Structure 1
Amino acid sequence: MINTLHALPVNETEWHAWHFSRNKDAIARTGATSLSTTHWVSATSLKEAHTFPSLPGRWYHKGGGVVGAHLPPSFTTTGTVQLRPGELLVAEDFTLTVIERLGEFALQVFDARNPQRLEFQSIAAFPPSAKWRIEARFFPEPDTVNITAADGVIVAIPTAGWVHFLKNRVDYRLRVTVQSKNLRALFSDNSATLGVYPHRFVDIPRPDFEGNTIIDFNRSYLPPKALNQNFLCPAPSLNNHLNLTVEAGEKWVVAGN
């Protein structure tokens, strides 16, 4: 448990820059609203290769990635391309990339003409407030947690420990994973009763040598699935439900013709 009730100042200029960036990224070529579909690729040879609606060529899995063959010049000058996870192929209105899960590979197709992208207006958010930028403390407790993706697949995720914070003199905690520069929590809370999307992420700065850090719920953000149902984002574990109403951060997507 931590022994502080201090809320911390919020730099509103930085928050508005972050919020602007989130809206801009949502409609980028590989932004959340641009994802058209995810094709799982089980074929392992050209003979067995898949064909997919609205996408040229034939596709199969090989050597840690996905191969596309019989492609038009707008995709590649050689007719064949191999994509590994994280690599991009930009062609016409499409941007293609590959993801890997449990040793299986999928081709993600981002389309600049995707209806979600064309209808997107903004991400609604609560005004920033100092009362939701809170001192916290990290307690390491490495573990592995099973989470369920949107398509029902269970994935084991390594976790780093717990981040504790006080709110209204009550000790709360969130289980966190390690990202490249931050800790990250996927959480739910009672703000869903206000119409807020049922779960959100919050990134937390790496703690100092004593475990001290800051959790800024003003920068809680929606998972990609909130912007586009084609994503396979998991729901948080029951242990990461906060029994309070976090009126901070992103709320929902505003869309329309």
Structure 2
Amino acid sequence: MSTTEDTLRDFKEWHELRTATVSAPYGPLALTGTHWLADHPDGTLPGLPGHWSDDGDELVLTAAADDGIALDGRPFTGTARLTPDPGPVTAARLGVGERRLVVLRREGLWAVRDFDPDAAARGDFIGIDVSTYDPAFAVEGRFTPYEQDRTVRVGNADGVERGLGLGGELAFTLAGKEHTLQVSVEGDGSLWAVFADGTSGASSYRFRFLRPAAPDEQGRTRVDFNRSLLPPCAFADHFICPFPPPGNTLTAEIAAGERNLSSRRHV
């Protein structure tokens, strides 16, 4: 099999896996709510049983038997002191029937996310519009770390401004023109960029994510916009995705990668 055939096969498999992941029972389409405790000082969260309160470094849940809450897979009554769930949704400690309740904390504020496999968005989902693979959008890049990590304040999809950590700049050339993106560095060394481009809000979603592999010792990594990702907030309004930081709106038209959700059927 030729290198081109290998590339196209890998791209097809990537897209199929991505589609299966977002449409999984506890994928992003299943998120039906993100409830911030600060918005509900009485301790009652919309659509969720139990009483919730902020106790500094812990979230306190008090539940009665008829609340139907499970903790670590077992029916729960009484009071539990909780910390953020670090793993996948399926590993969340709390549940109500088939729903999973994920505890999170952002900048000192507590929230509970409600994932429901019966969410209407899962039933309406057809697929993701993705462009045909174009090798012109897969180029070599060079990562230059900052001397010290930076945090910039950016708007989020829920209308709140939050800090976005940045670890360096990723430089690359498209169609003979040089570009840079400010990127975050993940725990495994891989990179994460939030970017917009000349197609954003027109033929593609208003911004997208890019996740290049960890750079080598010379800072080299592959910048493949064919694998641009829709952010979670494209699938559910209850995610708090960050908008692109300053300088991450490219003048180029990135007609590659995931562009939008496919049209949804109406029932």
Distance in 2 (CA, whole Å) between partners of 1:65 and 1:22 is 34
1:177–1:184 CA contact under 8 A, matched in 2: yes
The corresponding residue for 1:12 is 8
Normalised TM-score (structure 2): 0.84
Deviations 1:175-213 (A, max 9, x none): 000112311110000123642101100001111111111
The CA RMSD measured in Å over matched residues stands at 2.3
The structure-2 alpha-carbon separation of the partners of 1:157 and 1:234, relative to structure 1 and needing over 3 Å to count, comes to: closer
Partner SS state of residue 14, structure 1: helix
Cα separation, 1, equivalents of 2:62 and 2:151:
39
Report if aligned partners of 1:42, 1:60 keep a CA contact under 8 Å in 2. Answer: no
Percent of aligned positions that are identical = 30
- Indicate the structure with greater strand content: 1
Q: Counterpart amino acid of 1:52?
A: L
May I ask how many residue pairs the two structures share in their alignment?
A: 247
Cα gap change, 1:102 to 1:244, in 2 (>3 Å): same
1:93 correspondence with 2:93: no
Find the residue that maps to 2:13 and give its secondary structure: helix
For 1:78 and 1:219, the matched residues in 2 are separated by: 42
- Which consecutive unaligned segments of at least 5 residues does structure 1 have? 1-7
Q: Describe how 1:43-54 pairs up with structure 2 within 5 A.
A: 50-54=43-47
AA in 2 matched with 1:34: A
Native 8 Å contact 1:23 1:122 kept in 2: yes
- How many angstroms apart in 2 are the aligned matches of 1:53 and 1:22? 31
The alignment partner of 1:108 has SS state of strand
Within 5 Å, give how 1:1-257 maps onto structure 2.
11-42=7-38, 50-62=43-55, 64-72=57-65, 74-76=68-70, 77-80=75-78, 81-86=80-85, 88=92, 89-141=94-146, 142-181=149-188, 182-192=190-200, 194-254=202-262, 255-257=264-266
1:4 counterpart residue number: none
Q: Which has the higher contact order (CA 8 A, sep 6+)?
A: 1
Q: Give the gaps of 5 or more residues in structure 2.
A: 87-91
